[in-house]
Amino acid sequence: MHILVPVQRVVDHNVKVRVKSDGSGVDTAGVKMSINPFDEVAVEQAVRLREQKVAMKVTVVACGAAIAQDVLRTGLAMGADAAILVDTAGVTPDALGLATLLKAVAEREQAQLVLCGKQAIDDDLGALGPMLAALLDWPQAVSVNRLAVEGGQVQLGCDADSGLEQWQLPLPAVLSVDLRLCDPRSITLPNMMKAKKAPVTTLAAADLAALPAATTTVLSVVEPPARSGGVKVADVAALIDHLQRLPALQA
Amino acid sequence: MTTTSPTLILAGHDAGQLDPSTARLVGAARSLGRAVHVLVLGPAGVAAQAAALDGVAQVLHAEAAALPNAETVARVLAGLLPQHGAVLAAHTLLPRAALPRAAALAGAAFLADVTALLPEGRVVRPMYAGGVLATVQVHGPVLMTLRASAFDAVGDAAAAPVVALPAITADERSRLVGREVATSARPDLTRARVVIAGGRGVGAAEHMQLVEALADRLGGAVGASRAAVDAGFAPNAIQVGQTGKAVAPELYLAAGISGAIQHVAGIKDAKVIVAVNKDPDAPIFSVADIGLVGDLFEVLPALTAALPAR
């Protein structure tokens, strides 16, 4: 089985994002960028399946500019066998555009399983897995936190609005994973050095698929009204006094 | 959303009761100034409940014994999209899986967790775990999940007609084989007026009883930070934050929660945030309206004893 893992390059999750002065977007100049943490979990799960001999090959794929090679090399250092950069020639595809390109890659690579993060921590959209599954006409599951592959079927534990659900899907399938699925391994220096020299296949987006027209455009972004810290009270009695005056606690 | 075609709402339900979020979605849809249709994939009783909501012009009903999977819901939505310029659903797990799939099938736009609908096809939604609010222009037909708590619910009115849809063809490839439902007599976390939450500072699963006792005293729900869930003090289902649930209660009390960005993202719509933490430098104090530097093992029982029962 060949597993494809799409990885996205996002503002590192420890960075407090700032809005550009003209409000046109988030300032990413000079900001630390990293692999999307949910995608990192997907890479880890894929590599574990290869180590368990359930999968034969793990390929990480990123769509964007050449700079996205850095997150591909993170995937290689974690144990992915191959990396593909889809060069979008300066265009930033939206979710549907990304899914369109990844469908072409999944078919080209004859992948039987796509593992991706349940959302990217920049747009928090969570659309990629279901959109890619739709275009491939494969079954899907989202927010996967347990996974086992048995005889051409995947057995899954997924988040539900109240509690957990167990799902069973035939392969091929697209699964989007939650952070709880597994803990990504830490990358050793020798593996990082090896990954730096590993080949990355570059494909031109235009050779894979025609991008659909953008369906949404971000017009402006603002910082939400900041919650300012309020009062600090001295003791429990003062806290009780404050709470008793809250409308929420009036009988 | 540039047409005058009706807005379609995907009703949430548990195969018996209509989810209260549906009344809020109708309230949101009415502001678009077009006819409001509600789609019920489920029992006829749920369709009747949806038909009674004020402002609903028509209910589209397809009988479904169990809850259909996301692939099936997506197929139905993609088929109905040409007659409806916009599809709205609550930001819960089934719509979050089904709507983007339907959008890709139909070549339409998808947006998640929308908090405001503006004129001329513009909407507001958070990005970066609530770190920024984006105003987004939609081009053409759109499917979106809405943060229901951001919209006002409509009441009941004279029943709208219920139109039967042809039987749905289920996509049976992915199958639900089991469910572990967290049963609780407490109110639903995402709708509770009061939420008491515990973090790593709680220290052990059995100490969550202190959090639960105060929640029960105040008629509230119990929440937990990711650190508490990861440490095994509390189940996944009650995790509050970016990877858990967003809450918007009138009172949120965080006990032993440091206040990581990801947690604060899930509570910023709370009206009043109260923090109790031993560490005076915990980041939670910078967002709390009322803070007490103190030991939750003393503070929580004192509050439970002193505050009036509800």
Q: pLDDT band for B65, please (50, 70, 90 cuts).
A: low
Among candidates B122, B174, B181 on the partner chain, residue whose Cβ is nearest the Cβ of A219: B122
| Residue B63 shares a structural domain with residue B142 | yes
Number of CB pairs, chain A paired with chain B, less than 8 A apart: 255
Q: pLDDT band for B216, please (50, 70, 90 cuts).
A: very high
| Predicted-complex ipTM score | 0.94
Is residue B300 a part of any domain in this protein?
A: yes
Is residue B146 a part of any domain in this protein?
A: yes
Shortest CA gap A190–chain B (Å): 31
Q: What is the DSSP letter of A13?
A: T
Q: pLDDT band for B2, please (50, 70, 90 cuts).
A: very low
Query: In this complex, do B139 and A216 lie within 8 Å of one another by their Cβ atoms?
Result: yes
Which amino acid type is present at position A22? D
Q: Which residues of chain A make contact with B285, given a CB cutoff of 8 A?
A: 229, 232
CA distance B223 to B236: 10
Query: In this complex, do B127 and A134 lie within 8 Å of one another by their Cβ atoms?
Result: no
Q: Which residues of chain A make contact with B294, given a CB cutoff of 8 A?
A: 235-236
| Residue B120 shares a structural domain with residue B254 | no
Instruction: Write down the number of H helices and E strands in chain A.
Output: 7, 13
Is residue B175 a part of any domain in this protein?
A: no
Q: Is the pLDDT of residue A91 over 70?
A: yes
Report how far Cα B145 is from the mean position of its chain's Cα atoms.
9
Q: What CATH number is given to the structural domain containing B15?
A: 3.40.50.620
In this prediction, residue A251 carries a pLDDT of 61
DSSP codes of every residue in A71-127: HHHHHHHHT-SEEEEEE-TT----HHHHHHHHHHHHHHTT-SEEEEES--TTT----
Query: In this complex, do A218 and B272 lie within 8 Å of one another by their Cβ atoms?
Result: no
Q: Is the pLDDT of residue B177 over 80?
A: yes
Helix (H) or strand (E) holding A41: helix A37-51
Q: pLDDT band for A159, please (50, 70, 90 cuts).
A: confident
Q: Which residues of chain A make contact with B124, given a CB cutoff of 8 A?
A: none
In this prediction, residue A228 carries a pLDDT of 74
| Residue B257 shares a structural domain with residue B201 | yes
Which residues, at least 6 apart from A207, have a Cβ–Cβ distance to it below 8 Å?
none
Q: What is the DSSP letter of A36?
A: -
Query: In this complex, do A235 and B294 lie within 8 Å of one another by their Cβ atoms?
Result: yes
Helix, strand or coil, per DSSP, at residue A220:
strand
Query: In this complex, do B236 and A122 lie within 8 Å of one another by their Cβ atoms?
Result: no
Is residue B219 a part of any domain in this protein?
A: yes
Query: In this complex, do A242 and B261 lie within 8 Å of one another by their Cβ atoms?
Result: no
Query: In this complex, do B285 and A123 lie within 8 Å of one another by their Cβ atoms?
Result: no
Is residue B28 a part of any domain in this protein?
A: yes
Interface test with A, best of B17, B110, B114, B245 (most A CBs within 10 A): B110
Q: Is the pLDDT of residue A53 over 70?
A: yes
Q: Which residues of chain A make contact with B1, given a CB cutoff of 8 A?
A: none
Helix, strand or coil, per DSSP, at residue A203:
strand
Query: In this complex, do B135 and A214 lie within 8 Å of one another by their Cβ atoms?
Result: no
| Residue B275 shares a structural domain with residue B132 | no
Total domain count, chain B: 2
Residue A32 and residue A12 in contact, taking contact as beta carbons nearer than 8 Å: yes
Is residue B141 a part of any domain in this protein?
A: yes
Q: Is the pLDDT of residue B156 over 50?
A: yes
Query: In this complex, do B179 and A164 lie within 8 Å of one another by their Cβ atoms?
Result: yes
- Mean pLDDT score, B48-76: 94
| Residue B134 shares a structural domain with residue B218 | no
Spell out the domains of chain A, with CATH numbers in brackets.
Answer: 2-219 (3.40.50.620)
CB-based burial label for A146 (10 Å; 0-12, 13-18, 19+): middle
- Mean pLDDT score, B138-150: 94
| Residue B148 shares a structural domain with residue B12 | yes
Strand partners, B13: B18
| Residue B92 shares a structural domain with residue B201 | no
In this prediction, residue B262 carries a pLDDT of 81
Nearest CA in chain B to A217: B137
Query: In this complex, do A233 and B131 lie within 8 Å of one another by their Cβ atoms?
Result: no
Strand partners, B39: B10, B60
Shortest CA gap A185–chain B (Å): 17
Last residue of a domain, one of B145, B164, B183: B164
Q: How many beta carbons lie within 10 A of that of residue A58, not counting itself?
A: 30
Is residue B91 a part of any domain in this protein?
A: yes
Among candidates A131, A240, A247 on the partner chain, residue whose Cβ is nearest the Cβ of B303: A240
Q: Is the pLDDT of residue A249 over 90?
A: no
Range of the domain at B241: 194-306
Closest CA to B21 of B32, B12, B31: B12
Closest CA to A117 of A63, A44, A54: A44
Helix (H) or strand (E) holding A166: strand A164-170
Interface test with B, best of A102, A243, A245, A250 (most B CBs within 10 A): A243
| Residue B147 shares a structural domain with residue B226 | no
Query: In this complex, do B299 and A143 lie within 8 Å of one another by their Cβ atoms?
Result: no
Q: What CATH number is given to the structural domain containing B250?
A: 3.40.50.1220
- Mean pLDDT score, B131-152: 93
- Per the prediction, chain A carries an average pLDDT of 94
Shortest CA gap A197–chain B (Å): 33
Nearest CA in chain B to A37: B243
pLDDT digits (tens, 9 = 90+) for A164-191: 899 999 999 999 999 889 999 999 999 9
What pTM did the predictor assign? 0.89
Q: Which residues of chain A make contact with B274, given a CB cutoff of 8 A?
A: 239, 242-243
- Mean pLDDT score, A5-32: 93
- Give the HSE-up count for residue B74: Cα atoms under 13 Å, Cβ half-sphere: 31
pLDDT digits (tens, 9 = 90+) for A99-113: 999 999 999 999 999
- Per the prediction, chain B carries an average pLDDT of 92
**Torsional sign, CA B197, B202, B204, B207:** negative
In this prediction, residue B23 carries a pLDDT of 96
In this prediction, residue B1 carries a pLDDT of 45
Among candidates A164, A173, A223 on the partner chain, residue whose Cβ is nearest the Cβ of B236: A164
| Residue B18 shares a structural domain with residue B148 | yes
Query: In this complex, do B103 and A132 lie within 8 Å of one another by their Cβ atoms?
Result: no
| Residue B11 shares a structural domain with residue B134 | yes
Q: Which residues of chain A make contact with B177, given a CB cutoff of 8 A?
A: 155, 166-168
- Give the HSE-up count for residue A32: Cα atoms under 13 Å, Cβ half-sphere: 6
Q: What is the DSSP letter of A28?
A: -
| Residue B160 shares a structural domain with residue B201 | no
Which residues, at least 6 apart from B186, have a Cβ–Cβ distance to it below 8 Å?
B192, B215, B216, B220, B221, B222
Is residue B169 a part of any domain in this protein?
A: no
Among candidates A99, A124, A142 on the partner chain, residue whose Cβ is nearest the Cβ of B97: A142
Query: In this complex, do B182 and A163 lie within 8 Å of one another by their Cβ atoms?
Result: yes
Among candidates A155, A222, A249 on the partner chain, residue whose Cβ is nearest the Cβ of B251: A249
- Mean pLDDT score, B300-306: 95
Strand partners, A35: A9
Q: What is the DSSP letter of A67?
A: G
Shortest CA gap B52–chain A (Å): 25
Q: What is the CA radius of gyration of chain A?
A: 21
> Cis omega before residue A172 (within 30°)?
yes
DSSP percent split of chain A into helix, strand, coil, nearest 5:
30, 30, 40
Among candidates B70, B136, B308 on the partner chain, residue whose Cβ is nearest the Cβ of A216: B136
